[in-house]
Amino acid sequence: MSFVPPPYPYERLDRLKTLAAHHEGGPIDCSIGTPIDAPPDFVIEELAKGVGARGYPASIGSADFRAAAAGWLDRRFGVTVGPDQLAGCVGTKEFVASLAQYLHLRSPERDTVLFPAISYPTYAMSAVLAGLRAVPVALKGGELDLASIGIEDASRALVLWSNSPSNPTGGLDDLEAVAAWGQRHGVLVASDECYAEFTWTGRPRSILEHTLEGVLALHSISKRSNLAGVRAGFYAGDPEIVAYLRLVRQHAGLMIPGPVQAAVALAYGDDEHVVVQRARYRHRLELLANALIHVGVDAPLPDGGFYLWSSKPGADGWQLAEMLAQVSGLIVSPGELYGDAGADFVRIAVVQPDERLELAASRLSSR
C-alpha cells in the first residue's frame, strides 16, 4: 500500500478512560464535540414523515432547503444570496475533506492547502487525501497571522481555510482581512462558520458580509440545532465556484436525503430553539471554567464555540488530560490532536448534560 491512513485522532484517548474509571458515577466524556441535547420536536416530526424518500433528491438541495438556508443567512448576517450562490452538502465534514481534491482538478498548477496551525484535523487531512501539500498558518492573538504566509505558499495555494469561531481555540478571525488577503493572492478563502450561532464576543459574523467574490462560507445544522446525526449543511459564496462544485459533486453522487432536507429546512426557519441552546452552552462553559480554577487550570471563556481551550503551567496537553481524568473523571482532548502548536493545551467540549458537568465541577472543587 502506498498510503496508510493514520489512526483516527480520538481513538488515542482510550487510556484516559481507564484512568477515569475509578470515579463513582464513571467518566464524563468531554472529548468530542457531539451535541447531546434534544433537537426541536417539529424537526423530528417532519423527518418521520419521510417526505422525498422515494425519489433521488437534488444534489444541490431542494428549493425549500436552499430558500430556508438563504433566509437564515439574511436574518442572521444580513447577507443576500441567490439560488446560484448556495448549495447543500452531506454534512460539512465531507465538504471539508473533499474540497481540495475538487479544486485541484480545476487548478492542477496549484498544490497547497493553507489552514490554521491549531485547528480541526480534517483541514490538514483534506490535503493528505488529495495528495497535496498541507501548510499550517500561524496564529497571532487567536487569529490567522496572514503576514506569516510565505510568497511561495501563497502562489501555490488552492484554498485558505478560516474557522471562526475556532474549533478548538474559540478565537475569531478578522474575516474582512482574510477575504482581502485571498483576493490579493487569487486564493479561494473557505470560511468554516459552523459555530457562528455560538459567538460570545459581539454578534455572529460571516465572511459573506464583506464579499461573495473569491470566498465560500460553510454552515452546518449539526451544532446549531443538535442534528449532527442527519448530516446536512450548505456552502454559499462565489457563484463561479459554487457552480463548479455543484456540478462535480453531482457527478460524485453527493446528495442529502430528501426527508433530511425537508426537516432541516424547518430547522433553519426557526431561531427560538437556538436561543435556548445558547443559554445552555454559556452556563456549561462558565460552570466548568470556574471549577477548573480549583486544580490550577487556566480555562478562559472563549470568544465563540462551546469548547474551553485550557492549560496548566508545567504540564503539556497529555499530562493535563491525564490529571483531569484522574481527579475529576473528565475525558478531554489533548491539544496535540489539533496541531503541534496546541501541544500545551487541552480542549474541553461542554457537551454533557448539566448534571454530569455539575458532577465534574463538584469533583474539581473538592480538590
Residue 243 pLDDT exceeds 80? yes
Domains, the chain, in order of start with CATH, read 9-30+272-365 (3.90.1150.10), 41-268 (3.40.640.10)
Per-residue model confidence (pLDDT) at position 10:
81
Per-residue model confidence (pLDDT) at position 135:
98
Q: Which band of pLDDT confidence, cut at 50, 70 and 90, is reported for residue 237?
A: very high
Can you read off the three cell numbers belonging to residue 285? Answer: 462553559
Mean pLDDT of the 16-33 span: 94
Q: Which 8-state DSSP code applies to residue 23?
A: S
Q: What is the pLDDT of residues 74-83, one digit of tens each?
A: 999 999 999 8
**Mean pLDDT, all residues of the chain:** 97
Of 161, 217, 220, 226, which Cα lies nearest the Cα of 187? 161
Per-residue model confidence (pLDDT) at position 190:
98
Per-residue model confidence (pLDDT) at position 4:
86
Q: Which band of pLDDT confidence, cut at 50, 70 and 90, is reported for residue 277?
A: very high
Do 361 and 308 meet the contact criterion of CB atoms below 8 Å apart?
no
Do 306 and 281 meet the contact criterion of CB atoms below 8 Å apart?
yes
Per-residue model confidence (pLDDT) at position 52:
93
Mean pLDDT of the 175-196 span: 98
Residue 9 pLDDT exceeds 90? no
Alpha helix positions (H), 25-62 = 41-49
pTM of the model: 0.96
How far, in Å, CA of 105 to CA of 100, rounded? 9
Q: Which band of pLDDT confidence, cut at 50, 70 and 90, is reported for residue 2?
A: confident
Angle, helices 41-49 vs 258-268, to 10°: value is: 150
Q: How far out from the chain centre does Cα 26 lie? A: 28
Per-residue model confidence (pLDDT) at position 367:
77
Q: What is the pLDDT of residues 97-117, one digit of tens each?
A: 999 999 999 999 999 999 999
Cβ neighbors of 76 (< 8 A, separation 6 or more) are 196, 197, 204, 206
Q: Identify whether 257 is preceded by a cis peptide bond (ω within 30 of 0).
A: no
Per-residue model confidence (pLDDT) at position 288:
98
How far, in Å, CA of 103 to CA of 134, rounded? 14
Can you read off the three cell numbers belonging to residue 254? Answer: 453527493
Q: Which band of pLDDT confidence, cut at 50, 70 and 90, is reported for residue 6?
A: confident
How far, in Å, CA of 232 to CA of 219, rounded? 9
Per-residue model confidence (pLDDT) at position 7:
83
Q: Which band of pLDDT confidence, cut at 50, 70 and 90, is reported for residue 127?
A: very high
How far, in Å, CA of 141 to CA of 69, rounded? 32
- Strand-pair partners of 8: none
Q: Which band of pLDDT confidence, cut at 50, 70 and 90, is reported for residue 5?
A: confident
